[in-house]
Chain A
Amino acid sequence: MNVPIWSISVLRGWGAAVLALLVLALISPTMRAGVFDPRAAVLLAVWGGSWAVNAWLASLPRSRMVAGVVAALFGATLIVLWELIVRLYAVSPVILPAPSAVAAQFVNSTPILWADFVQTILKGALSGYLIGCGAALVTAVAVDRSPFLQRGLLPVGNFVAALPIVGIAPILVMWFGFDWQSKAAVVVVMVFFPVLVNCVEGLKAADPMQRDLMATWSASYWQSLFQLRLPAAMPFIFNGLKIASTLAMIGAIVAEFFGSPVVGMGFRISTEVGKLRLDMVWSEIAVAALAGSAFYGLVALIEKRMTFWHPSQRSR
């Protein structure tokens, strides 16, 4: 091809820009009336320019750094567009606060956010997560000795895992009171079945040849469990633990909508929404997002350390 590569990507960027123009034309009343709107032109320029850069970056040889830059640039573009839309169209802060306002609020109210984080994540979600996952693991090992129970419990567990268990929150709030104990209880119930199903599945993962080998070494049940079958089950267990980490956050936050002390992320979100202080709500959501990805990242990191031998971890 004789055309320089960057011009192709710029053309592609303009393709995306035309698409965005159509969307904007539908949204903006002035555009529909056929009047040129300079504000929309600014937004389009930002979007098209950033997309052209991204398209050019994506056409470079693949590397981790380029991938990181592209993703970061895309996220940054969305935030800049959000800020610009709020500023240019003077969107009311009770509908959509600008990211800068959210950031300012975040910095100003760190003590409140930290207290909410401790109450909801550290006390509610984390303790419930540890209890629930521990109980599921112990149950899985117990169930594993009886094929009969396995055949009975797996379909039931799969069924329960698909139910909207979060609905049990009002009942558990009645039983355990408004403080974090009831949130932990909701989390225990929510994470139990997904982790149980994955653990039971995982304990079957060691193949018969390996089990026979343990038997020829006259390994006891527990030796074979700890030295062969639990390690072999780790990829499955971690899959369950990762699903459970998101569920734990959801359970702890949603349970607070049914009653809580005057601290906590769910409490803060529902009361600040009532006061239409959306910048505070968005700060709280930012905390939830950060905590959620940190929680997930931590589990994934431990997984990487513990299942370094598994093909899925070695592929890269």
Chain B
Amino acid sequence: MRRSVLPVVVVVLAILAIWYAAAVWMNAQWTRDQAARAGVQIGWSDIARDAMQQERPVLPVPHQVAAEFWRLTWVEEATGRRGIVQSGSLSNRGLVYHALATLSATALGFGFGAGFGILLAVGIVYNRAMDMSVMPWAIASQTIPIVAIAPMIIVVLNSVGISGLIPKAIIAAYLSFFPVAVGMVKGLRSPDGMQLDQLRTYNATAGQAFWKLRLPASMPYLFASLKVGVAASLVGTIVAELPLGGAGLGTRLLAGSYYGQTIQIWATLIAAALLASAMVGAVGLVQRVTLKRMGFSR
């Protein structure tokens, strides 16, 4: 693990360097146009300096994005008029408010989706008719861009009077449901015939076989698919927020794109990335603790 720290740092630095170079190159045109309009001759040093402080750059440089992110989170909440310190509630212009809205919808949907996925998997493993009827469709549904129906579900649920957290959570649940079900089926079937036979020689009941063999054996598969599922449900929530308005990172992305606020879009993307890694990281943490306590060598 420690061996890879230096290479990762180098790769990240290289990405940042390319980012800076690209920003200067892509923002140069605007600077040149401005200079030509003003009738001034400018050199590359002026272009490079200007490229890093434009208000609406084609590609903002990393420190601009970091500053905007800081401004929209800490500064907005700590010192802003609408911030939590002065008004007692999170500012609706800050990213924390929107990230929390996205997080709660994702977490709610993911919880339901994963729960139903596990139940379906148990049904599939124990009922042959269910296995043969549902499983092909569950696998086929993985190849379909389900996210595409997100706006429809949102609008339809809105028209029957369901709005707020629930429609987003439904989409998040739907997206995490199938990966978890498919992974869990694989996990519950992972004990081999020898192990199942051994339990039979112990005269174990079906319930005992489930709780003492199949379920523990499925844990590594479950966690792998939970990670996929949580990432998928976050994407689902963000896409679901696009047509919605109100709170949420997806709404902020669309607003930023309407008004050409590139720095704000990037700051929102950073927030989304942090949220994704926090959620995947949380699942990973539970995974590590659980598997360690269960004695899986890792």
Contact = CB atoms under 8 A, between A and B. Distances in A.
B265 A170 contact: yes
Given A152-B8, A152-B11, A246-B143, 14 more contacts: A54-B129, A58-B129, A71-B136, A74-B133, A74-B137, A152-B6, A156-B12, A162-B231, A162-B280, A164-B273, A253-B148, A258-B257, A269-B148, A281-B152
Interface in A138-162: 148-156, 159, 162
10 contacts: A9-B129, A54-B133, A74-B134, A95-B156, A156-B11, A166-B238, A167-B250, A167-B269, A246-B142, A273-B151
Contacts of B6: 152
A144 B232 CA distance: 29
Contacts of A278: 152, 156
B128 A59 contact: yes
A245 B148 contact: no
Nearest to B3: A151
B152 A151 contact: no
A71 B138 CA distance: 11
A149 B14 CA distance: 11
Contacts of A266: 148
Choose among B15, B58, B129, B249 the residue with the greatest number of A CB atoms under 10 Å from its CB.
B129
Contact of B262 (A55, A171, A253, A285): A171
A258 B129 CA distance: 43
Q: Main SS of chain B's interface residues?
A: helix
Contacts of B9: 152
Interface of B: 3-4, 6-12, 15, 58, 128-129, 131-137, 140, 142-145, 147-149, 151-152, 155-156, 159-160, 227, 231, 234-235, 238-239, 242-243, 249-250, 253-254, 256-257, 260, 262, 265-266, 268-269, 272-273, 276-277, 280
Contacts of A276: 155, 159
Interface stretch (A30-38, A216-224, A228-236, A287-295): A287-295
Interface of A: 9, 12, 51, 54-55, 57-59, 66-67, 70-71, 73-75, 94-96, 148-156, 159, 162-164, 166-168, 170-171, 173-175, 245-246, 249-250, 253-254, 257-259, 265-266, 269-270, 273-274, 276, 278, 281, 284-285, 288-289, 292-293, 295-297
Contacts of B272: 163-164, 167
Contact of B266 (A54, A73, A171): A171
B177 to A, nearest CB: 15
A281 B4 CA distance: 48
Contact of A254 (B147, B156, B273): B147
Given A73-B133, A156-B12, A58 B269 contact: no
A55 B127 CA distance: 9
B126 to A, nearest CB: 12
Given A58-B129, A293-B143, A270 B243 contact: yes
A174 B243 CA distance: 19
A288 B145 contact: yes
Most buried by A among B11, B239, B254, B273: B11
A135 to B, nearest CB: 14
A254 B239 contact: yes
A54 B131 CA distance: 11
A284 B143 CA distance: 16
A244 to B, nearest CB: 12
